[in-house]
Amino acid sequence: MRLDLFLKASRLVLRRALANELCDAGLVKVNGTPAKPSRDVKANDEIEIKRRHKLTRIRVLQVPEKKQVSKQDAPNLYEILSEETLEDSLFDFKSSEN
C-alpha cells in the first residue's frame, strides 16, 4: 500500500492530500529516509511524522488490504514508538523588559 494511503487509512493523517503535502515537504520518513507519497509501506516499517510542534514515530503492524478501514480498526495497524513535543524558537516570544 502507498504511504499516503496508509497514513489516511490509519487515521494518522486525516486527508490524503495532507499526507502528500507532508511527504513532499520532507516531514515524513520511512526507516529513517525521507519518503515520497508513493512509497510502498510494509509491516515492521518505522514511520516518523513531523507536524508543527509534534514528532510521532510509529511501527507498522499490518497493512490493510482495503483503502478504507473502520475507525475502531485503524489503531490496530500501528504501534506508537514515541511522541515528542518539539520546541521551536520562532514561537518563543520573550519580553525584552529588564
Q: What is the pLDDT of residue 40?
A: 95
Task: Give residue-wise pLDDT tens across range 24-33.
Answer: 999 999 999 9
The pLDDT assigned to 98 comes to 45
Q: Write the pLDDT tens digit of every residue in 31-67.
A: 999 999 999 999 999 999 998 889 999 999 999 988 8
Instruction: Give the distance from CA 90 to its chain's centroid.
Output: 23
We report the CATH number of the domain holding residue 71 as 3.10.290.10
Q: Which has more pLDDT, 87 or 39?
A: 39
Q: Is residue 45 part of a domain?
A: yes
Q: What is the DSSP secondary-structure string of 30-45?
A: ETTEE--TT-B--TT-
For 26, the domain range is 3-86
Question: How far is Cα 36 from Cα 68, in angstroms, rounded to an integer?
Answer: 21
Residue 87's pLDDT is 77
> pTM score, two decimals?
0.83
CA dist 15 and 23 (Å) reads 13
Q: Is 61 inside a domain boundary?
A: yes
Does position 4 have pLDDT exceeding 60, yes or no?
yes
